[in-house]
Amino acid sequence: MSASYVYIMTNQRKGTLYVGATTDLVKRVWEHKSKTIPGFTQKYNLCQLVYYEVHQSILEAARRERRFKNWCREWKINLIEEVNPEWRDLYKDICS
């Protein structure tokens, strides 16, 4: 099985947050950044990858994504700040 990912996109530090799951993180983040897919992330210009985690399967990633979506905003912000206190865009990191 290939890896799967849960990720969080934003438009600015402590801005609007979007939680997603995918099997191809580089491609999916590129799609958000290039606004090739209409929807929430395009509407709110969510083009910064600020958090991601790796899972063994898409089922695990999807379960975690659903949990994240039920979390309050403060918990998501705390999670991001634990691993990415500067709110850096992690896209370049995952491309290298």
Q: Which domains does the chain have, with CATH numbers?
A: 4-95 (3.40.1440.10)
Average pLDDT over residues 69-96: 96
Q: What is the pLDDT of residue 26?
A: 97
Q: What predicted TM-score, i.e. pTM, was given to this entire model?
A: 0.95
Residue 90 DSSP label = -
Calculate what percentage of the chain has a pLDDT beyond 90: 96
Tell me the CA distances in angstroms from 26 to 13, 34, 75, 89, 91, one per residue in order.
21, 12, 25, 13, 7
Q: Is the distance from CB of 50 to CB of 89 less than 8 angstroms? A: yes
How many other C-beta atoms can be found within 10 angstroms of the C-beta atom of residue 93? 11
Tell me the CA distances in angstroms from 39 to 26, 42, 49, 81, one per residue in order.
19, 5, 17, 26
The span from the CA of 9 to the CA of 12, in Å, is 9
40 pLDDT more than 70? yes
